[in-house]
Amino acid sequence: MVNFRHHHYFLLFQRLALVMLLFSLCRIVFYWVNSDLYPGMTFTRFLRIAGGGLRFDLTAVIYTNLLYIIVALLPFHFIYHKIVQWPLKVLFVVTNSVALAANVADMAYYRFTMRRMTFSFFEEFENDNNLISILLNSIAGYWYLWLLWIGIVAVLWFCYGKNGKKVKGGKVKGEKKNLLPFTFPPFVRYVLRTLIMAAGIGLCVAGARGGFRTSTRPITLSNAGKYITHPNEAAIVLNTPFSIYRTTGRKDFKPLHYFNETELEKIYTPVHTPAPTAPFRTDNVVVFILESFARFQVGALNGVPELGSYTPFLDSLIQHSHAFCNGFANGQKSIDAIPSVLAGIPSLEQPYVLTPYSLNEVKGLGSLLRRKGYYTAFFHGAQNNSMGFSAITNMLGFEHYYGRDEFNNDKEYDGIWGIWDEPFLQFYAQQLNNFPQPFAAAVFTLSSHHPFKVPEKYENHFPKGPIANNECVAYTDYALRRFFETASKMPWFKNTLFVFSADHSSWCEYNTAYQNSMNSMATPIVYYHPGMEQAIMDSSITSQIDIVPTILGYLNYDEPYVAFGRDRSQNTPGFVFNYNGNYQLLYEDYLLLFDGEKTTGFYRWDNRGFNGLGENLQDQLPAQQEKSETLMKALLQQYTNRMIENRLTAR
């Protein structure tokens, strides 16, 4: 009979499972020590949070034990020798003891920071020699945590288990009883063990990333948002080793002090205190975030006739909309778009969702409209949890998530990313028709993503042009047409504000008008309401972070909120603030480039920037440059300090 209890691979699994169990134990104790910070926590809610935490524990366990796992999976006999097994045991116990010590220390230290310890903690004390004493003092009043950690180390050591195989004289003993009831030739054994090692490493990669799928990005701190209802609950979902690993090498923000608080508030504040002259209107809100739609592909907005158009439907809708021919993205990646479009939070050097501040308390469009009784939902046709969208949209107040699982028909699966845009937008329309009004819903399309395919039945149906995704953009535009054909027959349609933006732009390879640092981020931004009395082609500048303030302005929203943009329906000076190798500020016909310390360029923004940036006027127009620099510094100070201090809501 086969005895697996002492088999090498079984023991490896058992040891890693033991560490997972200890991580869960630490989570329970973390909550117990800090339970007064979580009033109203129910057992059911804690189980959901703790269940979500297993995903982060798995990643932390894999990172912590990666060297151990690789050595343990080597297909050679010598790894069973005590000369290898003893150091392996020491490696296992020491690395996991250190990782779990960080968990234990954070049980006490969390109260001082209100967030899990990140790599920036070590950078903060890199020039001091008292880091250990700081940690020791932080848990001095928690003597029982010392006992907990000592117990954890003991469990790791004494529950490690002993391998049933022994090497003597170069031969492995116990091979027959510990493997299978039959033996393999040596060469076959090496091949099988090599395949097991390859499979094990593959599983480690998947576990560390959070999945195998192309659309799955490595999980980060912001993914904890999927399992919580309040930002401070993220500390229960996460574990400290994971937080340290995932923030290693990332720059932490440093407080800025260009202005005192009184001066700063006079120059610029992201706190909006609306005072509408009309009552709040409960129109529905439907937002489209269009994958990789560049403004140069939209004929009605691009301003360069020779560029043509790949969006005939959007062009026709613009004739009845408030459209901006100078709209820009605030980031360059898909993950930058969600906080920009749905919360008015730009991404600068780092995507907001990858910063240690992504779990700050935020009131996005969903949160703000839920206060007014709105039903909120977010749609994305990819695999559920793709790119962490379910987590960040939950944090922004979108209570319901609809993805590939809810669509539930893989006949419409594109084979890589998710459901084709045409059927998914039909699903979007039908679901909206089932929602109670008023509702606020957003959809993120995906068919104009690499590798730029269209459904087989539409091959050679749409114009291709010189850019790889032109055909896909045209297909998604057709999907929008079909959506509106369906939606226009539904009772909620006439009482709905439709908003169109893109996640980011694309590089225009064949026309210089869109090849400078600002125009390379140019996207469509369009507001359409079926009852709109007069179409407006607006030449003023705007960006994604203006979308939430503009929607709320249209609805006559009457409560304070935080968003870094401005209501573009008002006659206030607009600005565009983003990052493209430099911080960029487009303001009052000038483009300022700033490296974080000093101005690196100052350009006149002539003819929508279609003539290139032209001459660098740095220091030649002191009054105009100083005005732009003042606003740039105020924007950076407000953004940076509010992130650090967790002040992204109007209190």
Residue 276 within a domain: no
Regarding whether 42 and 123 lie in a shared domain, the answer is: yes
Regarding whether 171 and 41 lie in a shared domain, the answer is: yes
pLDDT of residue 349: 81
Regarding whether 297 and 230 lie in a shared domain, the answer is: no
pLDDT of residue 604: 95
Regarding whether 361 and 486 lie in a shared domain, the answer is: yes
pLDDT of residue 2: 45
User: For the chain, how many structural domains are there in total?
Assistant: 2
Regarding whether 234 and 110 lie in a shared domain, the answer is: yes
Question: DSSP character for 164?
Answer: S
Regarding whether 217 and 348 lie in a shared domain, the answer is: no
Regarding whether 188 and 125 lie in a shared domain, the answer is: yes
Residue 255 within a domain: no
Cβ neighbour number for residue 40 with a 10 Å cutoff: 7
Which positions of the chain have pLDDT values less than 70? 1-7, 112-113, 120-141, 163-184, 187, 189, 210-217, 249-251
Distance of CA 96 to the CA centre of its chain: 28
225 phi and psi angles, rounded to 5 deg: -60, -20
Would the pTM count as exceeding 0.85? no
Domain boundary among 529, 550, 577: 577
Residue 619 within a domain: no
CB-based contact 342:591 (threshold 8 Å)? no
Regarding whether 326 and 214 lie in a shared domain, the answer is: no
Q: What is the CATH number of the domain that holds 332?
A: 3.40.720.10
Q: By residue range, what is the domain housing residue 309?
A: 290-577
pLDDT of residue 224: 83
DSSP, collapsed to helix, strand or coil, labels residue 271 as strand
User: Which element (helix H / strand E) includes 501?
Assistant: strand 496-502
Query: Which two tokens mark 169?
Result: 């004289």
Nearest CA to 545 among 261, 268, 317? 268
pLDDT of residue 169: 45
Residue 473 within a domain: yes
Q: Which residues contact 102 (CB under 8 A, 6 or more apart)?
A: 117, 240, 241, 244
Residue 259 within a domain: no
Residue 496 within a domain: yes
Regarding whether 230 and 326 lie in a shared domain, the answer is: no
Query: Which two tokens mark 493?
Result: 């349609």
DSSP, collapsed to helix, strand or coil, labels residue 123 as helix
Regarding whether 313 and 447 lie in a shared domain, the answer is: yes
CB-based contact 332:581 (threshold 8 Å)? no
Domain boundary among 577, 593, 613: 577
Residue 241 within a domain: yes
Cα radius of gyration (the chain): 28
Q: How does pLDDT run across 343-389, given as a tens digit for each residue?
A: 999 988 888 888 888 889 999 999 999 999 999 999 999 988 788 89
Regarding whether 68 and 207 lie in a shared domain, the answer is: yes
Residue 175 within a domain: yes
CB-based contact 117:138 (threshold 8 Å)? no
Regarding whether 362 and 222 lie in a shared domain, the answer is: no
Q: Which residues contact 64 (CB under 8 A, 6 or more apart)?
A: 19, 95, 96, 99, 241
Domain boundary among 554, 577, 600: 577
Burial grade of 166 (CB within 10 A; 0-12, 13-18, 19 or more): middle
Q: How far is CA 347 from CA 250, 253, 332, 579, in A?
A: 14, 13, 9, 8
Cβ neighbour number for residue 212 with a 10 Å cutoff: 11
